[in-house]
Every structure is written in C-alpha cells, then in structure tokens.
Structure 1
Amino acid sequence: MKKLLYFIFTKSIGLYINVLSFVFPKKAIQLAYALFSEPREGRLSKTNLPKILQEAQSETFQYQEDHFQTYTWQGNDTVLLLVHGWESNASRWENLLPYLKKSGSTIIAIDGPAHGLSSGKEFNISKYAEFIHVVVEKFKPQYLIGHSIGGKTCLYYQSVYQNNLLKKMVILGAPSDFSIILNNYIKLLSLNSKTSKSLEELYLNNIKLSLEQFSGKIFASKLTIKGLIAHDVDDTVVLFEEGKKIASMWKNAIFIETKGLGHSMHDDELYEKVFRFLFENDL
C-alpha cells in the first residue's frame, strides 16, 4: 500500500511539473531542481544530537553565505576526515569510529550542505567540496573517507584541488555516473524531455562540466594517491557496477567486493580491512 501511495504521489508531482513547464517554464524547473537537490532527511538538532556526536568537539565554520558543522575526536597528529552521503550526517560513522580510534588518530567528521547542523536547503557536490577544502586547509588530514555521494565528492575534491597532503582515500558505495542519478530522478517523476534537459543544464551550470565529465571514474583517473574502493553487490541505491567503473580508472586503488551489506556498508570485517589499508598496508 505504501509503495502504491508513493508511486501515485511521485507521478502526480511529475505531472504537475510537466504541465507547469508549458505555462511557467522557469517555475517548473525551479520546483524540479528543488525536489532534486533538497534532502528530506539527515538534519540534526543541537538540543538532540546523537550521543556519538556529543562526545566530539563541535566547531561551526562560516563559508561565504553558508555555515557548516564539524565534529572532532581528538587524537595524535595523524588526521582523518569523514565525508557522509545523501540524506545522512556525521553520525553515520558511529560504527566505523571504534576501528579508526585504535590508531590513536584525530578523527574529523563533517555535516554536508543542507545536512546535519549545516545550513542551506540545497545540496551539491561542488559546494560540499568547498566545505571539505576549508576543513583540509585548517586540519591537514592525511586520509579521506567518503560514503555514497560523499565518496564521489571526495573524488571530485581531490581531482580539482590535487591536495599533496593526502596519502590515502577510502570510497564506500559511491556512484560514478551522474547521469544515472539524474535519469533515475527523471524516470521516477516521469518528467518530459524539455524539463529534463533544463534540469540537467541548471545542475551542471555551477560545476562547469558536461554530464559526461561529471563522473566519478573521470575524477578517479586523475588521482595518484592510494585508494580503497568497496562496493556491495546487493546495493540497490548505487549499483555495484558504479564502483567497478571507478576502480577501472583509478590506477593506484584496491577494489573490495562485498555481499549482503546493501548501501550502508556497515560491517566489522570491512572496517577491519579499512583500518589495515590505512595504517598497516595489509589487507
């Protein structure tokens, strides 16, 4: 019943946008973009933070008209930065943190745009990468770990900024081709070709890249640091083939295939491998 109601709701929204595109095309595109770029989950409240984040040192950064939140678990001079995915927040790393803490490292997690305690309604990868760069400039992390769209943001960040301080990167369940994400959204709402094309142009305008160039595998091809890519064959959110695409272009990366973890990728065995990759050079 829930699936039927969701189907009816999404198709009704799509129909409304399609009709609106013939009368008020700008309003139609604005609505389609807002629905595409605004997360519906992942927000946090300062008065009700998850316990794991309460244990960290919180810091708010101002960047242009935005502010974003970071959480630091203080350790030694080795620094890791954790980058969450869509409709999530810094608390998603709770299961991984015990493994990383074994190293004695300083661990920093960030809330992405329009997620957690960070400001805004719109999420996009370029802005997320700018937030990451602000954090990198201050804390100088040697390791970067990203999940889902956060993983793709890490790839984008390093391909653009070419940060020489980074030694290794871990990417979990990340998408490669933006066209797949966009086309899934278009298909979900059954948007017409006029609206679909305008939506694509609007989203990519700030990136200054074509749809084909805005690809995780293209970003990965520019990387020289060591990488670990893990993707689950049962991932229904970001298909397994997406991880393989990234791995095929990243010359200095190891690919791990998992099964039964889904998109969350929470798993003790996997996290032990992540720890060994980062700190022991042994899988």
Structure 2
Amino acid sequence: MDPARALIRTALNPTAGLAPALAGRAAFELFRRPLRRGRVRPAERDVHGRAAAEPLRVNGTAVAGYRWGSGERPVLLLHGWRSRASRFAPLVPRLRALGLSVVAFDAPGHGDSGGRSTSVLEFRELAGQLQERYGPFEAVVAHSLGVCAAFGALADGLRAGRLAAVAGVSDVGFFPAAFCAELGLVGTVEQALRREIERGLFAGDAGVWERYDAARQAAVVGLPILAVHDEGDAVVPPGQAHRLQRAYGERLDLVTTRGLGHRRIVTEPTVIDQVIGFISAGMEATSS
C-alpha cells in the first residue's frame, strides 16, 4: 500500500464526515497539483531542442511554449496530466513533412513552465493565445486531459479543421471521480471536491459539469474527429471514447488499440500513422 495515499485517505475520509467543506478544500489543493513533472526523455531531445521558444503567460504564470516551423498552417498539440509537449516528439517531424507548423506548450505545473497547478481553463486560455498569434489551426492533436480541454476550447470558439483525440477524457466530471477512486476517498469527499471545483475554478457555476461534457457539445463542435483509445487503458477507460462515438456519430472515427495502455499510445508508430493520415485527409479535402 502506498503510504502517502493511505495517509490522505486516513485524513480526508473522517474529516468529510465532520467538516465536508474543509475536506473539499484539502482535496482540491491536492487535485489541481500534478506533484511531479515529466522530464524530456532521451528520444525526445532532438525534436525538443529544435523548437523555437514561444513564451506565454496565464494567470500570472510564465508558460513554456514551443513552435516548430514559421507558424503558418499551425497544428496545436495539447498534452495530458503530468505530461509535457515533448511527449509528442515523434509526431512533430511527420507534421512538418506535410508542410505544417506545430505549436504547443507545457501547462502550468508541467514540464518547463512555472506554477504548481493548472486546470482545463488555463489550457483553453493558452490555446486561445496561440490562435491569436497564428490564426485558425489546421488540426488539434490532444492526449488525455488535453482532449477534454480541446473540446472545451472548441465549444468556446477555438477554430480548427480537425481534432485527433488520443486516450481522451470526454467530460470534466471524470476527473474528481477518478481522483477520489484512486485515493480511496468516500463519496462525501468527492461531493465536497466537486463543490470546491465549482467555487474555485468556475465562480460557483454548478452547470460546469454539463458545459464541459464533450458528449453534450456535438451540436457546437462540428469538425471531423479521430478518437484513438486502447481497450486496456487503466487510466481513462475506453468508455470515455465510446460515449463520444455515440454523441458524434459519423463525424467521429473510433480506432481501438490493444496493449498500448494510456501513455505508450501517444508514441506508438501505428497510432502516429493514423493521426497523420487523418490530418492529411483534411488537407486534401481543403485543396480539392
């Protein structure tokens, strides 16, 4: 048993019964912090080192942004929780070979960015800043948390031709449920955490769970979507992709893999081939 998890569970579960608001605030502080930062892996260093710096700021925090190419015909990459932009390194040269630029960032509390915490709102804000600099995106490629952020940004006006969603979370409500399940926290803690998320991130708006549910945004998010998900993903269950498929119908192509899990799927060559083929098809449709 992980001693840290056991300590959190022992502290928060009894507290929730006596002072649920206090337990919610404590859980919220843990919930929004990645706690550890991903480093640039040896296989990523060459691509990472060739990126032009693209400094950004959000809520007073300095954010490490990256650009490969001139910025013309940009593709936006959105990483997941406890990850970083360099995880997309195998994809970058393939996109450049198509004549596309690539832009990305390490979210606050991740990679080389400042801060200790982040949220889907900051992902959305940073994506919007890059759009203001370089115009609409040819495509967005996102992983895990980045998928949830991508759908939220697209529903709020981010412009892109296509979305490739890899091992994606389809609704923001998944996160507090998964967080509490991982730590063995009781339902009272989860309820208090949800209220604290509403208060701390969304100005008390209890409707945020529906608004940041991608399956409810099919009428607003009208672009073609490729969803790739591993059937054995133990972090984000494949049911998250299936609910997107039901909501988006023929506009979403679901590809399932086996044996790649939640993280290795991002760098798997066959998955990269799928993503490149999907984006290429959009370019061909535009030029014809």
TM-score strictly above 0.5: yes
Deviation at 1:220, TM superposition (A): 4.1
Select the residue among 12, 23, 28 that pairs with 1:17: 12
The question of whether the paired residues in 2 share the 8 Å contact of 1:176 and 1:216 is answered with yes
In the alignment, the residues of structure 2 paired with residue 187 and residue 25 of structure 1 have an alpha-carbon distance, to the nearest angstrom, of 17
Q: Distance in 2 between matches of 1:194 and 1:253?
A: 36
Contact 2:71 2:102 in 1 (8 A): no
* TM-score, normalised via structure 2 length: 0.85
Do structure 1's residue 152 and structure 2's residue 148 form an aligned pair? yes
Residue of 124, 127, 132 corresponding to 1:132: 127
Q: Identity across aligned pairs (percent)?
A: 21
Report the Cα distance in structure 2 between the residues aligned to 1:94 and 1:198, rounded to whole angstroms. Answer: 39
2:242: which partner in 1?
A: 244
Kept in 2, the 8 Å contact 1:99–1:275? The answer is yes
The aligned residue for residue 258 of structure 1 is 257
For structure 1, the residue ranges without an aligned partner over 5 or more in a row are none
Q: Answer whether contact 1:15 1:189 (CA < 8 A) is retained.
A: no
Q: Secondary structure at the match of 2:77?
A: strand
Aligned to 1:280: 281
- Once the two structures are superposed, residues 217-271 of structure 1 have per-residue CA deviations (whole angstroms, 9 ceiling, x without a partner) of 2234521112111111121111111111112212422221222221121221221
Q: Which residue of 2 aligns with 1:79?
A: 74
1:217 aligns with 2:215: yes
Aligned position for 1:228: 226
Q: Give the Cα separation in 2 of the matches to 1:117 and 1:76.
A: 21
Could you tell me how far 1:40 is from its partner in structure 2? 2.1
Query: Taking structure 1 as the reference length, what is the TM-score of the superposition?
Result: 0.86
After TM superposition, give the deviation of residue 210 of structure 1 in Å. Answer: 4.1
Write out per-residue CA displacement over residues 12-42 of structure 1, whole angstroms, 9 at most, x where no aligned residue. Answer: 2111123444676555333211211100233
Cα deviations by residue, 1:145-165 (Å, 9 ceiling, x for unpaired): 10111011101100112x3x4
Unaligned ranges ≥5, structure 2: none
Q: Once the 2 structures are TM-superposed, how far is the Cα of residue 76 of structure 1 from its aligned partner?
A: 7.0
Q: Does 1:60 pair with 2:55?
A: yes
Contact 2:142-2:164 at 8 Å conserved across structures: yes
